[in-house]
Structure 1
């Protein structure tokens, strides 16, 4: 193994892979990408991979609009003919009941259109034309994004890794970054991150990008950083459960993704393989101390709740059978938005964590913007709102719909 690179990236999920690709695409820098297992074996591989631009935080919309362009023409964006992302342009419906959420939805659709999003309010009749399975009697406001949809998270990540390798990025699978390597000479550079330690030895770097998401606290602690530094991450991890249900009819892949704000857990659902429906939640989930100790079982009460909610929204699924379930970790910040920027007090370290359920859909644009920032260029979208210091500054990125992954 080479002993030094300009950039070392810890984490082979979609964000780390996108950063690696864009660093190689935009520069001649030497880049290495490390993953503790196979690439995309962490949170990305369990993503539901929904792609939408509906956000109430303006910078989120800007990032997702640029990312949507990439998903819609993935081969062209990566300059590779044999990569794929599995994008399905099914469209995206967002439903609200009467009251404050309906007003917020209407206001937000107008703000999104001003930012260039292809989104519009529609009525119940038009929504039923788009998705005939839906029961909409309790719905007061509906938003529609015709350009959105869902994709394949594994294929997308492997596409970025393939393109990165062809541009000279060294990719090390089953090679965890065990610790950050810190300068310890007691001089002005004390605490400066100068590389990483792996099972195969020390790798020096001009800059380390930490893109390990839910494992960020563990990396800090294992590197000997103080408890105060760990707490200053403002990072919580939760366990999210995804369920798939089947009914007597096949649920076609062309049906729109649906976000349902009428229910407390802000349920979403989209087509799954085999004619089933995939359902998840936009709430916090179950607190998780260690993402490596995550039980796989789906709680019976959640299964019953989601089954009832899906059945109420789509009568064909009343009494539907559970066909599959899986769990994945969310890395959540106080405002449910990512941290992107140089690590306070740790020169040489760049942080990318806390995606709070947004990471996949933003990853193409985030990878490019982070790479531009690392190379001293002005990023396509200003990443200053995502700076790590915003929590101490009380400059949180708060969405219109309250805490949750819809922000």
Structure 2
């Protein structure tokens, strides 16, 4: 009864997507284990932004495939009640004269070459789409109409429900204590609920990936990093029909979107606070952080100079040295597949990543090459370094 075709560790949005795709691709007996509940960890802290804009070209295809799923979510899951909570408002990115301008230009050209629909805007056109902003200092503005935001928790629970309908077993409140390895291959896991056996284990442990490092002896370079997110309510509404934005001209490379149809959800897209250990508990949001982010917002959105703080929270990223994920089989342990180090990209890429992790686990050809995402890149030096510096836009 405790023998499975595949075991997935972690029931966040990546883990539930992987489990769904394992079942969709023919795995008959899949087990998902999570120390908490479905989507309770870092998934629940996601800002939910969906875009295909990346300066790392490999990520664009994953994002493009994922957008297709989000845009047809109920049909993809074959569940008319499934919803991603998608708000299709588009994504606007801009840069001023300076070091971000040419990287943005080159990234947009690469996107177009990959078939992404883009619209180049002048400041008047940009203001028509995002009337609460000013664009006096911008040198390049681009709008991606096939973009927006969605609800990460809702997506994770929808993937989980669709997986269960296909026979997947999900055990919540069960902690994995060890991956069992015999003669260089995985044979199962020991947990707080006993031993479960499988010759295929997929780790989607996110900020808890250092546990996998301890169990396997592999060097898995990932660290937990905390970021502050705030919601501001200004005299002018940030409505649902206004696009998500990315401001490469701001000090913190701000990103934001409508929150609740009236407020602005906003955060910085730069490196955050490195934590000494994995922890999804809410950290303190300092007044200094609120003032710093608020001042940058006011420069771009003048009416928000008098905005009030509606709410705030912290989210934790699993960050690798190049701010991009490790995907696929881990060296030296047959049957062990991993997806970690999403560095803020996880939700955007989750449908495509779940599918390719499932394909790798089942030894099927993957939709997208996993070679650029291999763990070995950190020793060979073939890193997936973004053009904008350290931060979650990559």
TM-score bracket for the superposition, by shorter chain length: over 0.9
Query: How far apart, in 2, do the equivalents of 1:249 and 1:265 lie?
Result: 23
TM-score by length of 1: 0.94
Q: What does residue 297 of structure 1 align with?
A: 284
**Is residue 239–residue 294 contact of structure 1 (8 Å, CA) maintained in 2?**
no
Q: What does residue 142 of structure 1 align with?
A: 141
Shift of 1:50: 0.4
For the pair 1:210 / 2:209, whether they are aligned, the reply is no
Shift of 1:346: 2.4
SS at match of 2:198: strand
Shift of 1:182: 2.4
Query: How far apart, in 2, do the equivalents of 1:293 and 1:25 lie?
Result: 31
Within 5 A, what are the aligned runs for 1:8-407? 8-183=7-182, 189=183, 191-221=184-214, 223=215, 225-226=216-217, 229=218, 232-273=219-260, 275-292=262-279, 294-407=281-394
Shift of 1:121: 2.3
SS at match of 1:4: coil
**Is residue 178–residue 219 contact of structure 1 (8 Å, CA) maintained in 2?**
no
SS at match of 1:388: coil
TM-score by length of 2: 0.97
Query: How far apart, in 1, do the equivalents of 2:119 and 2:302 lie?
Result: 26
Shift of 1:322: 0.9
CA-to-aligned-CA distance 1:296-323 (integer Å, 9 cap, x gap): 2112211001111111111121131111
Query: How far apart, in 2, do the equivalents of 1:388 and 1:46 lie?
Result: 26
RMSD between aligned residues:
1.4
Shift of 1:205: 1.0
In the superposition, relative to structure 1, how do residues 194 and 50 fare at CA in structure 2: closer, same or farther (>3 Å)? same
SS at match of 1:269: strand
List 4+ stretches of structure 1 deviating above 3 A. Answer: none
SS at match of 2:381: coil
Shift of 1:214: 0.6
Query: How far apart, in 2, do the equivalents of 1:248 and 1:315 lie?
Result: 10
Query: How far apart, in 2, do the equivalents of 1:374 and 1:155 lie?
Result: 25
Query: How far apart, in 2, do the equivalents of 1:140 and 1:260 lie?
Result: 12
Shift of 1:291: 2.1
Shift of 1:193: 2.1
Q: Which runs of 5+ in 2 are unaligned?
A: none
